[in-house]
Chains A and B, each alone.
Chain A
Amino acid sequence: MGSEQLIQSSSLTVDDFGSWTAAFDSMLNSWMPSWCATLLECVLVGVGLLLVYALLALFYILYERKVCAYFQCRLGPNRVGPWGLFQAFADMFKMLIKEIIELKHIDKFLFALAPYLVIIASMLCFAVLPWGNGLQIINFNIGIFFLLACSSIGVLGILLAGWSSNNKFTLVGALRSGSQMVSYELSVGLSILTMCCFAGTLDVAEIVNAQRDHWFIVSAHVPAIIAFLIYLVAGTAETNRGPFDLPEAESELTAGYHTEYSGIHFGFFYLAEYLNLFIVSGVAALMFFGGWLPFNIEGWDGFNHIMGYIPSVLWFLIKAFIISFVIIWFKWTFPRLRIDQLLKLEWKYLLPINLFNLVLMTVIILTGFHF
């Protein structure tokens, strides 16, 4: 597939998606010319991606509403469908059929462009996530770098949304968002860099494979734990979620940068927020908790065997959901920070700790003081 190559995994477990996709690829190539096969594969992957994207978002909406409800001594959605399962679908349909309100005195092109930029940024990140054993849309040797680069496009959409709305609240929200995301990008980048140092590669599949014996959080012990904690804080800030939800602090800026958006345009921001939550959790699972690898304990062969039966896709999702739970827990417990405190936290604490941690990791790699 040109520069994009479906991963050819050498692993031979039950759910080796790599061999399935390779077989499918060669089957298509035997039926039709290779450009045609590539095109068809791209379309199929695109459709699949959109479907997964939408379903995950719906799941996350329900997930957060339920979790938050139990934190708040409530039941959460419980009317539409059993256990409120269809509430998210109903909400999504409502959002789809809502009118998009035409505003005067706005920059129409940029206003319409902004939600797409935000959603494209999060969709691109999906391409390199290690969904399962051999189940990855593209795999190339700078995968994690590509993911960081793509996720940064999102801030552009937010800035445009705030600026083009011609509204003072959105502008303040966008400015906050700009300074926040640019600052915390550093921490996210540095903590991932620390782990990449340990893995010795930027290739997502290789990072997962390097954790086959021990997850990085165990094998790289202290610096990995520090990096994970920093990543969790910075990742929460990156997704504009509480306690870092200043860009859309509803009690200060009504809805921040997306105040003026309605209908599906608002829906895009809403979706992207949840999907970014998933991406942040997914990357944490990838970098620290072995991606799609099952949970194994050395010596417990029977236990490890049973764990191996759980499909790798489920492993990845479960890890991501557990990390998301922690981030949701933050949001529904802590009050919001103030902008100066937010920047102080990043530049005065997280960044120096991160730099120190990077040095520590290098020392540990050089001295071989790891598992």
Chain B
Amino acid sequence: MSNLQEKIAKLFPEASFEDAGEFRITVPDARLHDLVKTLRDDSELRFDYLVTIVGMDWKTSLGCIYYLMSTRSKQVIAVKVSTDDRDKPMLHSIADLYHIAQFYEREVYDFYGIIFIGNPDMRRLFLNIDWKGYPLRKDYDDNPSLNPVSIENERQSDFTDQWVETASGEVRKNERRIFAPEDFVVNIGPQHPATHGVLRFRTAIDGETIKRIDVYMGYIHRGIEKLCEDLNYPQTLHFMDRMDYFSAHNYHHGLCLCIEKAAGIEAPRRAQVIRVLMDELSRIASHCLFLGTFCMDLGATTMLFYTLRVREQILDIMERTCGARMTFNYDTIGGVMQDLDENFVADVKALLDVIPANIKEYNKLFTGNVITRNRMEGVGVLTNEDAVSYAITGPSGRASGWACDVRKTHPYAIYNELEFDEVIRHEGDSMARFKNRIDEITQSARIIAQLIDNIPEGEIQAKVPKVLKLPVGHWFQLVEGCRGLFGVYIESDGSTKPYRMKLVTPSMPAACVVDHITRGQKIADLITIGGSMDYIVPDMDR
């Protein structure tokens, strides 16, 4: 860490450093772009993965915290930048360094009104274009009469703004068309069977060939981050299953770990094992559902019923222990809600027995099929560089040869004691993403098999104060959801409620990359690619 600090201090004397828990560099806005470029391009550092941009309102100033990860050393650092101008806050964009930054900056603009100079597409991302105010600012007026529920058609614009800085330092706004005037634009979504939720792609097509896609999110935006600011910590947990409802356990686990880290609580060993078991069971269930719905997107309806059989068995197991079949509220701060069902071990063993036969059947029915292979092989190829730059994590990122499994890079709970392989393929096409998920089912089953006979006896819940207050500070926790990296950022002002809670989800980048990998492909490939990225719309909208 000190090496890094020396190096940066030499190049950027105006930067200040903080090394409490995580390494944080604070720079003035003017030097941000150069600093991030150095961090990204320096051959020793290689911070080429932008985990997230956390917009912040510190009441006197507005700003952003950029979380960067090195794909080489797996180290995570934060870069903080702020501006005192609250009327027309402007920061410099890093959209030219990381592809995903364009969308993350749009999100910050949407919630904080910070304009990013140099971002080619400065529109709102989640909220309507005529929304008044910036909701995550601390002085936001949430009077419903300002933003009434509209019964009119949604207004939309074919233009976007771009703010550019001239050589003299003057900032100017340019207007830019999104589609060419002669483009034939088809609206795929928000109500469309293959977008798996309310996601909207405006797609310019030429015959069957896709020219460009403009993605619209926010149709199921609930403002979870905003809502969390008014709830105390145990209450915030209840939103974690409303994002990626298939990784409810994993997301709960992530938030619990973050709060436990901040409060200095450690969950008992039994609870940790149970949490990991539930995470892996969810992963199998989630991947099973993916296999089914993806094949259904491709027109092979029958496969869905074969994969749902296994998923059904897992949901039955979950129901007996957690009391729910979806949106589980099982993890609590310091442990889990209740002890395992008495038949849990037997049920899970029965499940482990049927999984290999089922996977064989899936491959027989679908994977080896010549039509399947023609539809999936070489379709939607995502290179390793693009996967990193677009922040595509999870099985999709690993299909592009990027070892990004948080269970391996930043082990949490008891993952460092477990034996399992990180499934990596290098083709980067839809077939690789599909096969990766099949193989991850096997790996998850392997993890479960190691734990199921060794669940330690003991407490399932650590002692947690009745009123939980976190000390002043900030914490960032990563876990591996079913679809990729899930991150929680909490900033606390010492009260019972988070001052700011930022949730980093894997689905949002997965939807943002669709434009890039579908260009020049066919409409049918959009469905294949969208399906193989396996995004969950509530997960991207939050």
Contact B375 A340 (CB under 8 A): no
Count chain A residues whose beta carbon lies closer than 8 angstroms to a beta carbon of B.
Answer: 30
How distant is the Cα of A224 from the Cα of B90 in the complex, in angstroms? 75
Question: Min CB distance, B120 to chain A, in Å?
Answer: 27
How distant is the Cα of A168 from the Cα of B522 in the complex, in angstroms? 16
Instruction: Confirm or deny: A5 has a beta carbon within 8 angstroms of a beta carbon on chain B.
Output: no
Interface stretch of the complex, out of A226-234, A250-258, A283-291: A250-258
Contact B192 A74 (CB under 8 A): no
Whether A72 contacts B527 in the complex (CB less than 8 A), given A252-B194, A335-B371, comes out as no
Contact B522 A337 (CB under 8 A): no
Closest to B208 in A: A339
Partner of B523, one of A73, A172, A245, A337: A172
Contact B527 A251 (CB under 8 A): yes
Contact A250 B374 (CB under 8 A): no
Contact B193 A73 (CB under 8 A): no
Contact A251 B299 (CB under 8 A): yes
Chain A residues with CB below 8 A from B375, complex form: 335-338, 341
Partner of A337, one of B186, B306, B371: B371
Contact A333 B309 (CB under 8 A): no
Contact A245 B299 (CB under 8 A): yes
Contact B296 A251 (CB under 8 A): yes
Residues A305-361 near B (CB distance < 8 A)? 332-341
Ranked 7 nearest A-B pairs via Cβ: A336-B299, A335-B298, A335-B300, A251-B194, A72-B305, A338-B524, A251-B297
Closest to A72 in B: B305
Instruction: Confirm or deny: B131 has a beta carbon within 8 angstroms of a beta carbon on chain A.
Output: no
Contact A334 B522 (CB under 8 A): no
Chain A residues with CB below 8 A from B239, complex form: none
Contact B371 A252 (CB under 8 A): no
Question: Min CB distance, B385 to chain A, in Å?
Answer: 27
Chain A residues with CB below 8 A from B305, complex form: 72-74
Question: Min CB distance, B357 to chain A, in Å?
Answer: 14
Contact B302 A249 (CB under 8 A): no
Residues A240-286 near B (CB distance < 8 A)? 242-243, 245-246, 249-254
The interface bits of chain B over 432-463 (1 if a CB of A lies within 8 angstroms of the residue's CB, else 0) are: 00000000000000000000000000000000
Instruction: Confirm or deny: A169 has a beta carbon within 8 angstroms of a beta carbon on chain B.
Output: yes
Q: Is the interface of B mostly helix, strand, loop or mixed?
A: helix
How distant is the Cα of A249 from the Cα of B302 in the complex, in angstroms? 15
Instruction: Confirm or deny: B61 has a beta carbon within 8 angstroms of a beta carbon on chain A.
Output: no
Contact B194 A338 (CB under 8 A): no
Chain A residues with CB below 8 A from B372, complex form: 335
Instruction: Confirm or deny: B295 has a beta carbon within 8 angstroms of a beta carbon on chain A.
Output: yes
Instruction: Confirm or deny: B366 has a beta carbon within 8 angstroms of a beta carbon on chain A.
Output: yes
Contact A339 B369 (CB under 8 A): no
Instruction: Confirm or deny: A71 has a beta carbon within 8 angstroms of a beta carbon on chain B.
Output: yes
Q: Which of B297, B369, B523, B524 has the most CB of A within 10 A?
A: B524
Chain A residues with CB below 8 A from B279, complex form: none
Chain A residues with CB below 8 A from B374, complex form: 337-338, 341
Which B residues lie at the A interface, using CB under 8 A? 184, 186-187, 192-194, 205, 207-208, 295-302, 304-306, 309, 365-366, 369, 371-372, 374-375, 522-527
Contact A333 B365 (CB under 8 A): yes
Chain B residues with CB below 8 A from A245, complex form: 299
How distant is the Cα of A157 from the Cα of B502 in the complex, in angstroms? 54
Question: Min CB distance, A365 to chain B, in Å?
Answer: 34
Question: Min CB distance, B290 to chain A, in Å?
Answer: 15
Partner of B186, one of A73, A169, A341: A169
Contact A339 B524 (CB under 8 A): yes
Chain B residues with CB below 8 A from A333, complex form: 300, 302, 365
Whether A334 contacts B300 in the complex (CB less than 8 A), given A72-B305, A172-B208, A339-B524, comes out as yes
6 A-B residue pairs with Cβ-Cβ distance under 8 Å, sorted by A, are A242-B299, A252-B524, A335-B298, A336-B371, A336-B375, A339-B522
Contact A334 B523 (CB under 8 A): no
Closest to A71 in B: B302
How distant is the Cα of A245 from the Cα of B304 in the complex, in angstroms? 18
Chain A residues with CB below 8 A from B300, complex form: 333-336
Whether A73 contacts B306 in the complex (CB less than 8 A), given A250-B193, A339-B208, comes out as yes
Contact A254 B523 (CB under 8 A): no
Residues A128-182 near B (CB distance < 8 A)? 168-169, 172, 175-176
Chain A residues with CB below 8 A from B524, complex form: 246, 249, 252, 336, 338-339
Chain A residues with CB below 8 A from B298, complex form: 251, 335-336
Question: Min CB distance, B209 to chain A, in Å?
Answer: 10
Closest to B205 in A: A172
Q: Which of B295, B374, B526 has the most CB of A within 10 A?
A: B374
Question: Min CB distance, A211 to chain B, in Å?
Answer: 34
Contact B523 A252 (CB under 8 A): yes
Contact A338 B525 (CB under 8 A): yes
Closest to A249 in B: B299
Chain B residues with CB below 8 A from A337, complex form: 371, 374-375
Beyond the given A242-B299, A251-B299, A339-B524, could you list 19 further A-B residue pairs with CB under 8 A, ordered by the A residue number? A72-B304, A74-B305, A168-B186, A168-B187, A249-B524, A251-B298, A252-B523, A252-B524, A254-B193, A332-B301, A332-B302, A334-B369, A334-B371, A335-B295, A335-B366, A335-B371, A335-B375, A339-B208, A341-B374
How distant is the Cα of A335 from the Cα of B434 in the complex, in angstroms? 14
Chain A residues with CB below 8 A from B366, complex form: 335
Chain B residues with CB below 8 A from A339, complex form: 208, 522, 524
Chain B residues with CB below 8 A from A176, complex form: 208
Contact B371 A73 (CB under 8 A): no
Question: Min CB distance, B439 to chain A, in Å?
Answer: 20
How distant is the Cα of A72 from the Cα of B298 in the complex, in angstroms? 16
Question: Min CB distance, A43 to chain B, in Å?
Answer: 43
How distant is the Cα of A74 from the Cα of B205 in the complex, in angstroms? 39
Contact B184 A168 (CB under 8 A): yes
How distant is the Cα of A254 from the Cα of B299 in the complex, in angstroms? 12
Chain B residues with CB below 8 A from A243, complex form: 299, 371
Chain B residues with CB below 8 A from A168, complex form: 184, 186-187
Closest to A341 in B: B374
Partner of A251, one of B186, B193, B309, B371: B193
How distant is the Cα of A310 from the Cα of B375 in the complex, in angstroms? 46
How distant is the Cα of A71 from the Cα of B192 in the complex, in angstroms? 26
Closest to B293 in A: A251
Question: Min CB distance, B514 to chain A, in Å?
Answer: 14
Closest to B309 in A: A73
Chain B residues with CB below 8 A from A73, complex form: 305-306, 309
Question: Min CB distance, A105 to chain B, in Å?
Answer: 15
Chain B residues with CB below 8 A from A72, complex form: 301-302, 304-306
Contact A254 B192 (CB under 8 A): yes
How distant is the Cα of A298 from the Cα of B301 in the complex, in angstroms? 43
Contact B299 A334 (CB under 8 A): yes
How distant is the Cα of A246 from the Cα of B299 in the complex, in angstroms? 9
Chain A residues with CB below 8 A from B522, complex form: 338-340
Chain B residues with CB below 8 A from A175, complex form: 207
Chain B residues with CB below 8 A from A71, complex form: 302
Closest to A333 in B: B302
How distant is the Cα of A334 from the Cα of B365 in the complex, in angstroms? 9
Question: Min CB distance, B227 to chain A, in Å?
Answer: 33
Question: Min CB distance, B470 to chain A, in Å?
Answer: 45
How distant is the Cα of A172 from the Cα of B523 in the complex, in angstroms? 10
How distant is the Cα of A252 from the Cα of B365 in the complex, in angstroms? 22
Closest to A244 in B: B299
